[in-house]
Amino acid sequence: MKTDDLIIKTLRENPSKPVSGELMAHRIGISRAAVWKRISRLRELGFNIEGGASKGYILCGIEDLIRPELIGKKLETRFVGKTIIYRSVTGSTNLDALDLAAKGASEGTCVISDAQTAGRGRLGRSWVAPAGGSILTSVILRPKLSPQTATLLTLAAGVAAARAIHHVTDLKPWIKWPNDLFVGNRKLAGILTEMHAEMDRVHFVVVGIGMNVNMDRKSFPSEIRKIATSLSIEARRTVSRNQLIATLYHELEAAYVRLVEHGAKPIIAQWEELAKIRGKHIRASLVNDRKVYGTAIGLDSDGALLIEDRNGKIRKITAGDVEVTNEPPEKE
Amino acid sequence: MKTDDLIIKTLRENPSKPVSGELMAHRIGISRAAVWKRISRLRELGFNIEGGASKGYILCGIEDLIRPELIGKKLETRFVGKTIIYRSVTGSTNLDALDLAAKGASEGTCVISDAQTAGRGRLGRSWVAPAGGSILTSVILRPKLSPQTATLLTLAAGVAAARAIHHVTDLKPWIKWPNDLFVGNRKLAGILTEMHAEMDRVHFVVVGIGMNVNMDRKSFPSEIRKIATSLSIEARRTVSRNQLIATLYHELEAAYVRLVEHGAKPIIAQWEELAKIRGKHIRASLVNDRKVYGTAIGLDSDGALLIEDRNGKIRKITAGDVEVTNEPPEKE
């Protein structure tokens, strides 16, 4: 991982002339064959590296590089993003942030990466994102909240991401419970919120956000091509990742502070408005593999999804997976 | 830590004849001076090591050694304690268990230690326990519960510990919310429950239990001598730690399975009975340093403590510290 990061760093420092395999090998302290192997792998991750061992390597698509110093200039926050750890390639920004938090990193510390080799999503799933076109960032928070209330942070993060996207691109993504962002029926962003807590005290929370920004349809792996989209596809223009990250941090801090200071109500109201959830037909798969069908009526005060089944019974969904269907609920 | 563990291991393997400093140094691969230094430190932790560098060292008080193989023989559980990792000395059994759980240790894996160099209690406090007389154990659970429901595990652990003590010693400790065990106004045991979770899915929980078993008043550090007690003091006899650990694991598994299968109600009912909480005068210090006075009326369905203040208003305590006082609540 560290070697990959060093290779990208070297290429980023030489945006206008190719770096020979020999120079790269010498600088990093590995063999030329190892450089070639690493470059192949980095290309598989989605980095647009042109050239070869003899001609030298050059990183293309450089106009939208993530630059922490640029983000810092655009930042209007009190604590989120004041410390940014950038890694070109890492296993998972959430794992990095959890590790940093356990070692005492301060509230608001952010990890950003261009590519993850083991990106993770909700419910133990993986998160696939071609390098160079994504926002992959994890934010460390230390809320003085009980674990029960802290679970609302995941809704707050969904609200923040939707608002940041709207602010920068004018797009209006909707939120699928609890916090996937969609345009139409294609997924734009996902959020994985993890916490470490005592039973009545949160030690820290890591909010991880994966967002498809500048990628065309064909740069998505074939298995997700039909169900994924990006901001550049939807907005029909390249979107500045540095600007979007700064706006995202601003919105995240605002939503977080609102939750801590004013409790669940304002966040839940914002979420319900952005999700346009009321009246939608829902098929929920619970953690125990049972299914529940119904019509969404909103969120409970603890962030659970409330749906009314065909028999008029209110069901409360606290965990699991939700699909929005076109058919009204049938009898179970 | 590892060296300390090796020294105690060597002494445990030689219960009847002293081990010379030279042999010890040779076996562990450190100098004789280092052995002497380590032995001094182990004595400070409470290990009863007699002898000296020339006469050789011998571990006394050996009749109640913790022996995982003995615990295994007494065990009547399905999964708790089926794997036991024993360390004579460690930093904190909870940290060990959190680390093992993150690396994939199976549900029910237990860590036991005779002495902690960095024992931890609730709300970031330390937990002090002289070596050789305590039960210090941490149990890894992987409940299919939401984080909201998993917080009830801390009450379940309190119930399990109180029941195990009663079963083995006939003592009837009471529980102070959320889960400290007392006899009279002296503390007998504390529980630190930590979890790692997504917002709607628990990855793992570590239940750490520290219990004073065989120690007399003078073996407590002076700063806690007046507020702590042990089972041997209260029951006026030595209590088998191996038996008590096996019973504790049995009760913990039972309480855990009950919570997962039957929800909060039975655990809350058991807890309220053991805590004899109703009608007690309570002074609660909240996380934000505010104080609440009132008369306890029981637990809410999420495990929060409900108290009625002097004005008849019901207050819900979800986090913080609770004192039982003799005075009825005054106006705030």
In three state form, how does the secondary structure of B122-165 look? HHHCECCCCCCCEEEEEEEECCCCCHHHHCCHHHHHHHHHHHHH
Q: What percent of chain A is predicted at pLDDT more than 90? A: 49
Span of A17-31, B58-72, B119-133, B137-151 with lowest mean pLDDT:
B119-133
Which pLDDT value is given to residue B332?
Answer: 47
Looking at residue B124, its pLDDT comes to 64
Inter-chain residue contact B197 with A201, CB threshold 8 Å: no
- Tell me which architecture the domain covering B68-275 has in CATH: 2-Layer Sandwich (3.30)
In tens, the pLDDT along A135-148 reads 999 999 999 888 88
**Looking at CA atoms only, how far is residue B131 from chain A in angstroms?**
25
pLDDT, average across residues B50-69: 84
* Minimum distance, in Å, between the CA of residue A261 and any CA atom of chain B: 12
Lowest mean pLDDT among A187-196, A202-211, B323-332: B323-332
Query: Would you state the pLDDT for residue B116?
Result: 87
Alpha-carbon distance of B168 to B161, in angstroms, equals: 11
Query: Burial, A13: exposed, middle or buried (Cβ in 10 Å; 0-12, 13-18, 19+)?
Result: exposed
Q: Given a cut of 90, is residue B317 above it in pLDDT?
A: no
CB atoms within 10 A of CB B29: 9
Residue B134 forms beta bridges with which residues? Answer: B212
Chain A interface residues (partner B, CB cutoff 8 A):
122-123, 144, 146-148, 150-151, 153-154, 178, 192-201, 203, 287-288, 302-303, 318-320
- Which residues of B have a CB under 8 Å from any CB of A? 122-123, 144, 146-148, 150-151, 153-154, 178, 192-201, 203, 287-288, 302-303, 318-320
State the pLDDT at residue A271: 94
Which of A146, A178, A194 has its CB closest to that of B197?
A194
In which band, very low, low, confident or very high, does the pLDDT at A331 lie, cut at 50, 70 and 90? Answer: low
Rg (CA), chain A: 21
Among A79-93, A208-222, B73-87, the least confident range: A208-222
Which of A107-116, B122-131, B216-225 reaches the highest mean pLDDT?
Answer: A107-116
Output the pLDDT for position B120.
74
* A179/chain B closest Cα distance in angstroms: 11
Q: Is the pLDDT of residue A123 over 70?
A: no
> What pLDDT is attached to residue B175?
93
Token pair of A76, please? 């209007």
The CATH 1.10.10.10 portion of chain A extends over: 2-60
**What residues in A contact B203, CB-CB < 8 Å?**
194
> What is the C-alpha separation between B178 and B72, in angstroms, rounded?
30
Quote the pLDDT of residue A119.
Answer: 76
User: Helix or strand or coil: residue B29?
Assistant: coil
**Tokens of residue A180, six digits:** 């996937």
Mean residue pLDDT across chain B: 89
Q: From the options 3.30.70.3040, 1.10.3190.10, 1.10.10.10, 3.20.20.220, give the CATH code of B2-60.
A: 1.10.10.10
- More confident call, A28 vs B327: A28
| B69: three-class secondary structure by DSSP | helix
B194: nearest CB among A178, A198, A318: A198
Taking the model in full, what pTM does it have? 0.81
Give the type of residue at B288. Answer: N
Which of B198, B206, B305, B321 to mutate to test binding with chain A, by most A CBs within 10 Å of its CB?
Answer: B198
pLDDT of residue A211: 95
Yes or no, beta carbons of A201 and B302 under 8 Å apart: no
Average pLDDT over residues B97-119: 92
The answer to whether residues B160 and B181 touch, using CB atoms and an 8 Å cutoff, is no
On the question of a cis peptide bond just before residue B178, with omega within 30 degrees of 0, the verdict is yes
- For residue range A215-226, what is the model confidence (pLDDT) as tens digits? 888 888 788 888
Q: Are A154 and B123 in contact (CB < 8 Å)?
A: no
CA trace torsion A152, A154, A158, A159 (10° rounding) = 30
Comparing A160-164, A237-241, B143-147, the range with the smallest average pLDDT is B143-147
Residue keyed to tokens 């655009």: A74
CA distances from A49 to A15, A25, A31, A212, B110 (A): 11, 16, 19, 20, 49
Predicted pLDDT at A330: 58
| C-alpha–C-alpha distance, residues B302 and B298, integer Å | 11
Residue A124 has pLDDT above 50, yes or no: yes
Amino acid found at B262:
H
Residue B118 has pLDDT above 90, yes or no: no
Could you tell me what percent of chain B has a pLDDT over 70? 93
Confidence of residue A332 (pLDDT cuts 50, 70, 90): very low
Lowest mean pLDDT among A75-84, B122-131, B163-172: B122-131
- B151 exposed, middle or buried (CB, 10 Å; 0-12, 13-18, 19+)? buried
| Residue A327 clears pLDDT 80, i.e. is over it | no
User: Among all residues of chain B, which has the CA nearest to that of A120?
Assistant: B198
Architecture category of domain A281-325 in CATH: Roll (2.30)
Contact A195 B123 (CB under 8 A): no
> Chain B residues with CB inside 8 Å of A148's CB?
147-148, 151, 302, 318
Res. B169 pLDDT band, cuts 50 70 90 = very high
How close B191 comes to chain A (CA, Å)?
10
Residue-level length of chain B: 332
In total, the C-beta contacts within 8 angstroms joining chain A to chain B are 91
Q: What average pLDDT does this structure show over B322-327?
A: 78
Contact B144 A201 (CB under 8 A): no
pLDDT > 90? residue A150: no
Of B195, B200, B318, the CB nearest to A319: B200
* Class of CATH domain A64-275: alpha beta
pLDDT band at B104 (very low <50, low <70, confident <90, very high): very high
The CA distance from A296 to A87, in Å, is: 41
Domain limits, CATH 2.30.30.100, in chain A: 281-325
Q: B193 forms bridges with which residues in the sheet?
A: B207
pLDDT value at A155 more than 90: yes
Over residues B57-74, mean pLDDT: 86
Q: Which of B175, B176, B200 to mutate to test the interface with A (most CBs of A within 10 A)?
A: B200
Mean pLDDT confidence for A179-190: 92
- A97 pLDDT higher than 70: yes
Whole-angstrom Cα distance, residue B231 to residue B166? 10
Tell me which residue has tokens 């239940």: B207
Q: Which tokens sit at A288?
A: 């125990």
Give the count of beta carbons closer than 10 Å to the beta carbon of residue A73: 10
Cβ distance B144 to A287 less than 8 Å, yes or no, reads yes
Q: What ipTM was predicted for this assembly?
A: 0.74
Delimiting residues of CATH 3.30.930.10 domain(s) in chain B: 68-275
The answer to whether A200 contacts B288, with C-beta atoms less than 8 Å apart, is: no
Say yes or no for a CB contact (<8 Å) between A201 and B319: yes
- Please determine, for residue A1, whether its predicted confidence score (pLDDT) is greater than 70: no
> Does B197 contact A195 at a Cβ distance shorter than 8 Å?
yes
Q: Which of B178, B199, B288 sits opposite A153 (nearest CB)?
A: B199
Residues of A in contact with B320 (CB under 8 A): 200
- Does the pLDDT at position B287 exceed 70? no
For the beta carbon of residue A287, count every other beta carbon within 10 angstroms. 16
Chain B residue with minimal CA distance to A152?
Answer: B199
- Determine whether the interchain pair B196/A200 forms a contact, defined as Cβ–Cβ distance below 8 Å: no
B312's torsion region: left (phi>0), alpha (psi -120 to 50) or beta?
A: left
Model confidence at A99, in pLDDT bands (50, 70, 90)?
very high
Please choose, from the candidates A59, A71, A215, A42, the residue with its C-alpha nearest in 3D space to the C-alpha of residue A134.
A215
**Min distance A231 CA to chain B CA atoms (Å):** 26
Question: Cβ contact (<8 Å) for B194 and A197?
Answer: yes
| HEC-encoded secondary structure of chain A | CHHHHHHHHHHHHCCCCCECHHHHHHHHCCCHHHHHHHHHHHHHHCCCEEEECCCEEEECCHHHCCCHHHHHHHCCCCCCCCCEEEEEEECCHHHHHHHHHHCCCCCCCEEEEEEECCCECHHHCECCCCCCCEEEEEEEECCCCCHHHHCCHHHHHHHHHHHHHHHHHCCCCEEECCCEEEECCEEEEEEEEEEEEECCEEEEEEEEEEEECCCCHHHCCHHHCCCECCHHHHHCCCCCHHHHHHHHHHHHHHHHHHHHHHCHHHHHHHHHHHHCCCCCEEEEECCCCCEEEEEEEEECCCCCEEEECCCCCEEEECCCEEEEECCCCCCC
Higher pLDDT, A165 or A13: A165
CB–CB contact B198 A192 (8 Å): yes
B288 pLDDT tier (thresholds 50, 70, 90) = low
